[in-house]
Amino acid sequence: MKISVIGAGAIGGNLARLLSAAGHDVLVADARGPEAVSAEVLAAGARAVELAAAAEGREVIILSIPFGRQPEVADLVATAPREAVIVDTGNYYPFIAGNIRAVDDGQVESLWSAEQLGRPIVKAWNAALAATQQTKGLPAGSPGRIAIPVAADSAEARSTVMRLVEDTGFDAFDAGVLADSWRQQPGTPAYCTELNLEQLARALAMADKDKAPETRDRLMRHFASLPEWPSHEDTVATNRAEHS
């Protein structure tokens, strides 16, 4: 597919690399310009382009920029074809984004993003840590393959992105409509806990919308209070223990 990745950081860079390695035609664009995109991201054939040229004529646009900055890319997204699938990987952390009143008051993060962009979106690749996505992908059918939830209102767009999630080395889980995507956001049992398909289904079902923001903020305060940032494995273990 003709895919553009906006934001060439940890998540966007990795997706550009994996999706081009899987045979897709991938463009990648970042706020800091094409020269800021690393050689590693481009090694499998992705091409770095200027932001302004990133959306026109593309079938899928993956936004991998910090949550809260979606308004900055609304004009760019508007240049994508009307039928293009727009994917958002973002997660709301008030201590990074600053407080966003509507989300603090209970609006589902993905619905807030879609509103800022003026387009329907698909939520995917948000509920796995960067290190999980970079190092733990496996071929389809491998035992222990980690699952990633995909939520969208359009069943067609959701299926398209589920196929792409599979191409990045993970089982794709149909997480239903966007209004339910709070179940895969920070502070929930499905978030960054490296679960397989069956475990993920249970985790999404047991999520508690009212508790999630408090859990999200408490876990971040805990990680920040440690003498050094925990290892990837310790982060996943702490996330899992929170909901066991």
Residues that bind ligand NAP (CB under 6 A): 6-12, 30-32, 51, 64-67, 69, 72-73, 89-91, 126, 129-130
CB of 89 to ligand NAP, least distance (A): 4
CB of residue 77 to ligand NAP, shortest distance in Å: 10
Q: How far is the CB of 14 from ligand NAP (least distance, A)?
A: 8
- As a whole number of angstroms, the distance between CA 62 and CA 15 comes to 9
Nearer to ligand NAP, 21 or 130 (CB): 130
Please say which residue, 67 or 156, places its beta carbon nearer to ligand NAP. 67
- Give whichever of 17 and 156 is closer to ligand NAP, judged by the CB atom: 17
The nearest distance, CB 51 to ligand NAP, in angstroms, is 6
CB-based contact 173:199 (threshold 8 Å):
no
What minimum distance in Å lies between the beta carbon of 196 and ligand NAP?
A: 18
Asked whether 152 and 184 are in contact (CB, 8 A), the reply is no
Choice between 24 and 191, CB closer to ligand NAP: 191
CB of 7 to ligand NAP, least distance (A): 3
Q: Which residue has the tokens 């553009």?
A: 4
Q: What whole-number distance in Å separates Cα of residue 240 and Cα of residue 193? A: 6
Our CB check for ligand NAP shows the closer of 9 and 94 to be 9
Q: What is the CA radius of gyration of the chain?
A: 17
Residues 105, 73: Cα–Cα separation, whole Å? 24
Smaller CB distance to ligand NAP: residue 7 or 137?
Answer: 7
- Comparing every residue's Cβ against ligand NAP, the nearest one is 9
SS3 155: helix
Strand 122-123's sheet: what is its strand order? 47-48, 25-29, 2-6, 60-63, 85-88, 122-123, 147-152, 171-174
Distance between CA atoms of residues 9 and 14, nearest Å: 8
Strand partners, 150: 174
Closest contact distance (angstroms) between CB of 234 and ligand NAP is 14
Q: Which residue has the tokens 């860079």?
A: 13
E-assigned strand segments in 11-53: 25-29, 47-48
Give 11 or 108: the residue with its C-beta nearer to ligand NAP.
Answer: 11
